[in-house]
Amino acid sequence: MARIIIPVVFQGPTRGESEANVEGATIVECFDLVEERFPGLRELVIDPASGEIHKFVKVTLNGELLERDAATLSRPVSAADEIEVIAAIAGG
Outline where DSSP puts E strands in 1-92.
2-5, 19-22, 57-61, 64-65, 82-87
Q: Within a 13 Å sphere around the CA of 83, how many CA atoms are in the beta-carbon half?
A: 28
pLDDT digits (tens, 9 = 90+) for 12-56: 999 999 999 999 999 999 999 999 999 999 999 999 999 999 999
Buried/exposed 48-79: b ≥16 CB within 10 Å, e otherwise? eeeebbbeebbbebeeeebebeeebbeeebee
In order of their start, the domains of the chain are 2-87 (3.10.20.30)
User: How much is the pLDDT for 88?
Assistant: 81
Q: What is the pLDDT of residues 61-81, one digit of tens each?
A: 999 999 999 899 999 999 999
pTM, to two decimals? 0.92
